[in-house]
Amino acid sequence: MTTLSAVRYALWALLAGVVIGVTAAALGLFPGAQKGTVSGTATLGAPFTLTAMTGEPYSWEPATGAPHAIFFGFTFCPDVCPTTLYEMTTWLDRLGSDGESIKALFISVDPERDTPEKLANYLSAFDDRIIGLTGSREDIDKVAGDFRIYHKRVELDDGDYTMDHTASVLLFKPDGSFFGTIAYGEDAETAVDKLRRLARS
């Protein structure tokens, strides 16, 4: 094997490994989304009632009739959540009227600190289509589990704590079936294209 073909072979092997790894991660992360029931409805997510940032109860069920972008986080998040919220705001802005039908839900994984008032105050800096939701610890854990969202409280040295959580944005068609995800750090063109296709779904 020449040096060049050895390098090529190494690159191909590396690329194949990456593809296999990404596929496995996608299947492992959202196993329910691969199955679907006989009617073809995705099994990711389940009906829930939480508390909106207005203080009113907020109910969601799969067949809402509107395309949804659902993501989880918390207002004390130092980087990932504010970045996602900022990006979601710019994506919705870029979509203009194409994105009017999209509803975005930001569900707190830190309900102990994220009161409706705290969420309302925090989210006022972002697109007003983004609805903040909180609830009891029990309800939040149930909803996160139904959407296969990992979240875990992590104690900090100064006595404070932070939350580890899945950063993906989950997309649902108006009929409630799972459309796909927008990964954290995904480039803006791809994200806007996904949201445009979601709005037309």
Task: Provide, rounded to whole angstroms, the least separation between the CB of residue 105 and Ni ion.
Answer: 15
Residue ranges in 48-77 that form contacts with Ni ion under rule CB under 5 A: 73, 77
Among 29, 80, 95, 120, binds Ni ion (CB under 5 A): 80
Query: Would you state the structure tokens that stand for residue 184, as one six-digit string?
Result: 């954290």
CB of 181 to Ni ion, least distance (A): 16
Reported residue count of the chain is 201
103-122 residues near Ni ion, rule: CB under 5 A: none
Structure tokens that stand for 61 in this block: 């069920």
Whole-number minimum distance, CB 101 to Ni ion, in Å? 26
Which amino acid, one-letter code, is at 75?
T
Q: Which is nearer to Ni ion, 175 or 184 (CB)?
A: 184
45 binds Ni ion (CB under 5 A): no
C-alpha 42/C-alpha 36 separation (Å) is: 4
Q: Select the span of 44-52, 81-89, 92-100, 182-190 touching Ni ion (CB under 5 A).
A: 81-89
Least distance from Ni ion to the Cβ atom of residue 161, Å: 13
